[in-house]
Structure 1
Amino acid sequence: MSQLYNEDFIEKVRFSNDIIDVVSEYTNLKKSGKSYKGLCPFHDERTPSFNVSPEQQLYYCFGCGVGGNIFNFIMEIEGLTFTEAVEFLAERANIELPEQNNSQARQRKVSQRKKLLKIHKLATQFYNYLLLKSDLGQEAYNYLLERGFDKETIEKFQLGFAPNRWQGLYNFLSDKGYSDQLLVKSGLILPRKNSDGYYDRFRNRVMFTIFDHRHQAIGFGGRVLSNEEQPKYLNSPETPLFDKSKNLYGLNWAKQEMRKTDEVIITEGYTDVITASEFGIENVVASLGTSLTSQQAKILNRYVERVYIAYDADAAGAKATLRGLDILKKEGLDVKVISLGHEQDPDEYIKTEGKEVFLQTKDNATSLIQFKINQVLKDKDLSNVDERVNVVQDLLPILNAIDDGVERDEYLKQVAEKLQIRLEVLRSELNKFEKSEHQDRKSSQRNNNNNLKNSIELNDPKKDGYQNAVNGLLKLMLNNTRLVKKVQNELEKSDFVEEDHRQLFTTICKLYQEEETIEINELFNRLNAESSQKLLTKLAVQGDEFDSSVNLDKILIDYIKKIKGYQSGMKKEDLEAKIKQAEQEENYQELKQLLEQYQDLLRKED
C-alpha cells in the first residue's frame, strides 16, 4: 500500500476506474462468458490468453502469468510505482489528489511540477507551431524534409523550431502569467549575467521534445541547422522534471512494442529513434548520452529481458558500449551488440539499407563476451610477445566470467588461435586465475543444482495432481463461502506444501472469520507476496467451473483426500529414506523409532 495516500482514497480511485475500460486502452477485449478476453499486452501472442474479470476487477494472462488488479496493470504497462499508478488513475478519473496536512513541502513540490509540465507543454506547442505554420521555421522544416522526416513524423514526435531570437519563448510564456523564477527553474530560460533580464536557452535550433514514459514533455534537445555552429546539440539541463540519467528518449512510443517483443534496441541519437519508427521499427530508444546509467538499466528491466546496443561505430561509441554492457548485465538483462560497420549510425544505416537488413543485424549481433574480447584484441600488435602476455591477462577475467563450460571452451580455443599460443597454456593460466574465486563458483554451482532439483520436482505427476487439487479447493473456497468452515475443519496451514497456497488459505480463513464473506479485492490487498496475489488473480479470473447440478461437497471431499494423500506420500518417502540410512549406519535405536512412525502413518491411511 502507498504510504502517501490512505486506503479510502485508494479505494475511491479503484472504484472510479473500471478495469475493462482501462485495459481496453491497451488491447482489444471481447466478451467471453462472464469475463473478457484479448491478446496479452505484455507478451507477443496470436491466440488470446489474457483474461479480465469485470466482476472481480482483476486480470490474468494464462500465457505469461501476469496478473493483478487495476493498479498492478498500470504499474506493469506504464512502468510506474504504486504511488504513481494511484496518481495516474486519479488523474484519469478527474479525482483531485488529497491535501496532505503534514506535508506542505510536498504540496508545493506537486504544484510546482504541474506548472513546469504545463510550461513544457506550451513550449512544445510554441516550437511545433513555428516549425509547421510560420515562415520563421521554413529553413528548419526543409532541413527535416531533407533528412527524410515527413509532416506526419514531425507531428508524432512533436518536433519544432526555436527562433533566432533572444526572447521568443520567454515573451510567449511570460504572457501566459508564469513568473521569471519558475521559467528559470524550467531550464528553458536563462538570467542575463551582467544585467537584468532573461533570454531563451534554445535559439535557431531544430527542437526534439523529450517525453517521459507517460508522454509528458519534460525537456528538449536542440540541433543547430549548420554543422559549423557549436555545440551541435544542446540539451535541457537537469531540472525538477528532467534528469537525463533517469530517462530514455522514445520510451513513451516504444514501450508497447518492447512489452510484446521482450526486447529493445538502444541507440545514441534522437534521429535514430525517429527514423526507426518511420521504417516501422518501434522498439527503439536513445540513451540521451553516450553512457548508459544504472537507473536507465532498471527502467529497461521493467519492460524487456533482451537489449541490443546499436551505438555509433566510432571509438567513443565502442567505449560507451563497453560501459553499457556491464551496467545492463548487472541488472540481469541479456545483452547483445549490433555492429553496423563503415562508421554509420542507425539513422543512416536504416535509410541506406532498409528495415529488413537492419533487423537482420540482430541475428548477427555480438554477445557480451565476444564484444569484450574483440575490444581487448582491437589494434593490438599480436606479433609482440609482451603485448600478447598483457592481452592474456586482460582476457582472463572475461573468460573466467563464463559459467557455461562448453561456451568457455569455445572461447578459449578462439583466443588461443588468435594469440597463437597453445590451448593447454591458456587453460593453465585460467585455472590459476580461477583459484581465488573457486569458492564463490562452488557456491553458485550448489544453487544451480538446487534449481535443477526444483525443476525436476515440478514435473512430478503426483505433485501435478496435488497442485490441481489445491487450486480446485481454493477456488471452491473463493466462490462458495459456505465451504470455508468445512475446509478449516479438515485442513490446516501445514497441509499445503507451497508458501503461496499457505498464505492464500490462511488469509481466506481469517477474512471469512472476520467478515463472514470473501471480497476478492479486500483479500488481494491483504496478501503480502506478489506471487500470492498472482495466484489469487489466476484462480479468481478462472471463476467457478461447476454448474448448479454438481455436488460441491463431494468434490471438496475428493480434493481434501488428494491433498492429505500427497502429504502422507511425502512423509512416507521421507521416512523410507531415513529408515534406509539408519539400516546402513546400523543405528538400531533410531531404526526402531522410525519403523514405529512408519507403522503409525500406515494405520492413519487405513
Structure 2
Amino acid sequence: MHLRQQTQEILARVDIVDVIKKYLPLEKAGDNYRSKCPFHTDSDPSLSVSPKLGIFKCFGAGCGKGGNAANFIQNYEDIPYHQALVQLAKLIGRPDLAPAEEKKGFEAIFEINQIVSQLYRDILFTKSELSEKARLNLRERRITQETARRFNIGYSPNSWTWLTEQNLNKNILRQAGLILKTDAGHFRDYFKNRIIFPFYDRDNIMGFTGRTLGIAKKIPKYLNSRDSDWFKKQSLLYGWNFNRKYIIQSKEVVIVEGQFDVLQLYQRGVQNAVAVSGSYFGSQAAGILSKSIKRATIFSDGDEAGAKASLRIAELLAQRGVDLNIIYLEGKDPDEAAKYKHRFNWEKLNSKYSYSMVSFAFEQEGVEGALKRLASCYNKIKLSYAIRELSELSSFDEKYLDHWLKEFKRAPLSSEVITSQDLKLKLNEELVLLSAYNKGAVQLDSYLIKKLGAQTVAQIQKAGKGLIQELADNPKYATRLYMLEHVKDLAKYSHDLLTKAYLSFLSKDVSNFKVKLKETGDIKYLTKIEQWVKKINKIKMGIKNGKKENGPRSINY
C-alpha cells in the first residue's frame, strides 16, 4: 500500500473528536465542537472541530491553525507528521498501517545509546563492588530503587576504560560521544565514576548527563553529552518523557534545575516536574512546554544563580502567555527541600515561599529590572494586571510605570542593550537617591549608620539640590530621580526601602554569626543568631500583615 493510501486509511478510521479530547476539553456547539485554541493565547473558544469532516480549524486572529487529526497531534506535540500518523495507527489498533519511520541517519547512535544505557543500569542494579559507592550515594540521597529504575538511572564505573572494553563498535561509541581518542591514540571513556541520567526524545536516548561521585575540585559536578545534531541541551527537558502524561493531564509543569530535583519531587507526589539542566533553557524548550500547559511553577536553586535562572525561564514562558508561579527557598534546592518526606509540604512551599513573576523580579532586580522583564510579555490583559501589581509593590503610579514600560520595549531597537542587572540599584544607592530627592525621607538610626558606612551616611546627610545635580550625571541615577517624582506614597516608599535595608543587613549578620560560631564554638554567637532571626521574623510578619508599626523602626537594635 502506498503512503498516501495508508494515510487516507488511517484518517478514515479515526474519530477526530476522540483524538482531540485526549488533549483538550471540548464542548458541543451545534453539529461541531469547540475549545480554546492551544496554539495561541486564547480567551474565547476559537478552535472548532468538525466530526463530520474530520478536521479542526482555529478562527482566532493571527492563528489560523487547522487540518486533520494527524495535523493536530503534529502541532500539539511538536513532532513530525509521520510520527503523528504512527500514533493514530496505534490508536485505531492498526499499527500495520503506520508509515515507515523517516531515516535521519542517527539510528546507529540511538542504538548504541540504548545498549550503553542498559550496561550502565546493569552495573548499578547488580550487587557489584564497582557500583557500591553509587548505590550508597543514592541511598544517602533517599532515592529509592523503584524511582531509580523508573527513570532508568545508571552508573559509569570509576575507570577510564570500562566502556571501551565492552566489545562494542568503537567508531560508533566515539561518534556518539561516549568515548574519546587521546593524543596518544588510545580510547578512553567520556563518563567516569558518575551517576548517569539518560535524555530521551520519545523512545530514543539522545544523550546523557553524569553526576560525579569524585571529590576533585577540577572535575565538573555535572557533565553533559556534547552538543551534536541529535543532542541539543537547550531543547531537551529531563523527565519530559517520563512525566509528560501528568503534565498534559494537569496542564501544569514544575520546572527545576537538576535531575535529582525531578526524582525527589516525584517521590513526594509531584509527578509533573522537568529539569532544564542548569542554564540550558531556550525558546525551543519554552515553545514545547507552552503547547501543553497553562501554568508553570518554577522552583530553581535558592541562590543568586537560581534566582536569575528562575527569571530567565519566567520571561520566556511569559512571552507565550503561560501563568507563572516562582518558588524561592533561600539557601536550598528542590532536592534538599524534598529529601525528607515528613518535612516536605508542597502546599506550604506554594504559599509561604511563592512569588508572582512581578514580585520576584521586583525583589531581585528592583522596579527597573521588573519593567525590563515585563517588556517581553505580549498579553495586554496580563500585562495590565502585572503593572498594577508592580505599582502596589513599588509605590510608583501605574500610568508612569506603563509609560516607562513602553520605553523599555523600545530599548532593544537602540544601539545600547539594557540588561536587568545593569538597571538594578544597590540599597545604599536607592537610599542616597531618595534622600537627595526628599531630604527628610530617610531617617537613619545607629544600626543603619553603622551598617551603611561613612561615605553613604555622609551623602544621605548632605542631601540637597547640589547632590541631585551631582547624581544626575549618572544616567541610571537620573532615571530613578525622574521616577521618584511619580511615587504615589513617599512615606510608604521610604518605609519599604528602610525595611528592605534592615532585612538585608540582619540576614548578613546572621550569616556572619554562623561563620563565627563554627570557627570559635562561642555560645554567644548562637544567642545572637536566635535574637536576629526573631527580629527578621518580626519584620516579615509585619510586612505580611500590613502593619506598619511592626516595621524595623519599632525594633530596638
TM-score (norm 2): 0.57
1:202 aligns with 2:204: no
Query: Could you tell me how far 1:309 is from its partner in structure 2?
Result: 0.9
CA–CA distance in structure 2, aligned partners of residues 394 and 244 of structure 1: 27
- Aligned equivalent of 2:358, options 359, 369, 378: 369
- Aligned equivalent of 2:173, options 183, 189, 198: 183
- CA distance 1:251–1:436, change in 2 (3 Å): closer
Match of 2:404 in 1: 433
Matching residue's letter, 1:368: M
Alignment of 1:302-341 (within 5 A): 302-341=291-330
Long gaps (5+) in structure 2 = 24-37, 39-48, 57-64, 411-557
Match of 1:522 in 2: none
Long gaps (5+) in structure 1 = 28-41, 43-51, 60-65, 100-105, 378-391, 417-422, 440-606
Matching residue's letter, 2:311: L
Aligned residues: 367
Please identify which structure carries the higher helix content. Answer: 1
- Aligned equivalent of 1:163, options 132, 140, 157: 157
Query: Could you tell me how far 1:232 is from its partner in structure 2?
Result: 1.2
| Contact 2:82/2:99 (<8 A) preserved | no
- Aligned equivalent of 2:394, options 400, 409, 415: 415
- CA distance 1:434–1:216, change in 2 (3 Å): closer
Alignment of 1:201-350 (within 5 A): 201-212=190-201, 214-228=202-216, 230-341=219-330, 343-350=331-338
- CA distance 1:126–1:326, change in 2 (3 Å): same
Q: Which secondary structure does the structure 2 equivalent of 1:336 belong to?
A: strand
- CA distance 1:164–1:411, change in 2 (3 Å): closer
Query: Could you tell me how far 1:254 is from its partner in structure 2?
Result: 1.4
1:31-66 deviation digits (Å, cap 9, x = unpaired): xxxxxxxxxxx9xxxxxxxxx99999999xxxxxx9
- Aligned equivalent of 2:132, options 108, 129, 138: 138
Query: Could you tell me how far 1:407 is from its partner in structure 2?
Result: 5.7
1:398-451 deviation digits (Å, cap 9, x = unpaired): 6887856676345324313xxxxxx5xx56854763676999xxxxxxxxxxxx
1:360 aligns with 2:360: no
- CA distance 1:259–1:395, change in 2 (3 Å): closer
Alignment of 1:61-210 (within 5 A): 71=70, 74-75=73-74, 78-87=77-86, 93=95, 107=103, 110=104, 112-133=105-126, 134-172=128-166, 174=168, 178=169, 180-195=170-185, 197-210=186-199
| Contact 1:259/1:304 (<8 A) preserved | yes
CA–CA distance in structure 1, aligned partners of residues 175 and 279 of structure 2: 26
- CA distance 1:171–1:73, change in 2 (3 Å): farther
Matching residue's letter, 1:83: H
CA–CA distance in structure 1, aligned partners of residues 398 and 10 of structure 2: 62
| Contact 2:327/2:350 (<8 A) preserved | yes
CA–CA distance in structure 2, aligned partners of residues 320 and 276 of structure 1: 19
CA–CA distance in structure 2, aligned partners of residues 431 and 145 of structure 1: 52
Query: Could you tell me how far 1:144 is from its partner in structure 2?
Result: 0.8
Match of 2:474 in 1: none
Match of 1:520 in 2: none
Matching residue's letter, 2:4: E
| Contact 1:291/1:323 (<8 A) preserved | no
Matching residue's letter, 1:85: A
CA–CA distance in structure 1, aligned partners of residues 166 and 319 of structure 2: 46
Query: Could you tell me how far 1:265 is from its partner in structure 2?
Result: 0.6
CA–CA distance in structure 1, aligned partners of residues 9 and 75 of structure 2: 21
CA–CA distance in structure 2, aligned partners of residues 186 and 316 of structure 1: 31
CA–CA distance in structure 2, aligned partners of residues 435 and 75 of structure 1: 37
| Contact 1:373/1:398 (<8 A) preserved | no
- CA distance 1:89–1:184, change in 2 (3 Å): farther
Deviates most, 165-174 or 329-338:
165-174
Query: Could you tell me how far 1:168 is from its partner in structure 2?
Result: 2.1
TM-score (norm 1): 0.53
| Contact 1:79/1:303 (<8 A) preserved | no
- CA distance 1:68–1:256, change in 2 (3 Å): farther
CA–CA distance in structure 2, aligned partners of residues 238 and 258 of structure 1: 27
Matching residue's letter, 2:165: N
1:179-204 deviation digits (Å, cap 9, x = unpaired): x3322221112122232x32210111
Match of 1:455 in 2: none
| Contact 1:187/1:239 (<8 A) preserved | no
Q: Which secondary structure does the structure 1 equivalent of 2:254 belong to?
A: strand
**Higher gyration radius (CA):** 1
CA–CA distance in structure 2, aligned partners of residues 142 and 399 of structure 1: 46
Matching residue's letter, 2:232: D
Q: Percent identity?
A: 30
| Contact 2:315/2:373 (<8 A) preserved | no
Matching residue's letter, 2:113: H
Return the structure number with greater relative CO, CA threshold 8 A, min gap 6.
1
1:75-99 deviation digits (Å, cap 9, x = unpaired): 4775524233235567982668569
- CA distance 1:88–1:316, change in 2 (3 Å): same
Match of 1:63 in 2: none
CA–CA distance in structure 2, aligned partners of residues 434 and 139 of structure 1: 54
Match of 2:8 in 1: 11
Matching residue's letter, 2:336: E
Query: Could you tell me how far 1:280 is from its partner in structure 2?
Result: 1.6
| Contact 1:280/1:355 (<8 A) preserved | no
| Contact 1:245/1:292 (<8 A) preserved | yes
